[in-house]
Amino acid sequence: MDVTPASPEPVPLPEPKRLGALARLAPEPMKVVLNWGRRYSLWVFNFGLACCAIEFIAASMARHDFIRLGVIPFAPGPRQADLMVVSGTVTDKMAPAVKRLYEQMPEPKYVISFGACSNCGGPYWDSYSVTKGVDQIIPVDVYVPGCPPRPEALLQGILKLQEKIARESLAERYGSTQPSAAALQSGLVQPPPAPAAAGESR
């Protein structure tokens, strides 16, 4: 009796990850094109708070010239910026301003914490007025250590961020959950309480 082996069942391939809401309009290679354009056109909003800001300025000058990496320094404001570089000591008094300006940046946005003071408070970590790292108030993508950090370290941090952007999936970043209205509110400026009605007792 001739017995022919049964053909194996076809294994379904996993659904490729798309671009969130634009999946029906954009083909899959668009993710590569968008990430390529995003990684080489980073407008920087420099938040220089202390001496590390001098090292950031040195990285943007002719000797190191991070413009050759596709990084454009000194964006006109947070609404035109893609990348915030926090360089220097973040104090508790300055922390609300850092958070407010970060929230004004359009998505997708990235943060580099530049120097020991921005990373963890640095030599002032035990001060009553110093925030123990900028990641206490905003999310950080790349940490650049050093006190003071060298401009070459910032260049390495930018390259690491560009590698992260190249691997980024917009579907994972934006397509999984929709932010609630409460999550989109700053929380820094609260509306005044509603006045009590005329007939209510206090």
- Tell me the binding residues: 51-52, 117, 147
Q: Identify the residue whose tokens are 């659904």.
A: 15
Alpha-carbon span 49 to 59, nearest angstrom? 16
Surface-to-core class of residue 96, CB atoms within 10 Å of its CB (0-12 exposed, 13-18 middle, 19+ buried): middle
The helix or strand, by DSSP H or E, that contains position 56, with its residue range, turns out to be helix 52-60
- Annotated binding-site residues for [4Fe-4S] cluster read 51-52, 117, 147
C-alpha neighbours within 13 Å on the C-beta side of residue 51? 9
Strands of the chain, DSSP E: 42-48, 71-72, 83-87, 110-114, 142-144
**Spatial CA neighbour of 44 closest among 140, 137, 133, 109:** 109
d(CA 169, CA 171): 5
* Secondary-structure percent of the chain, ordered helix, strand, coil, rounded to 5: 40, 10, 50
| All residues at 6 or more sequence positions from 184 whose CB lies less than 8 Å from its CB, including other chains | none
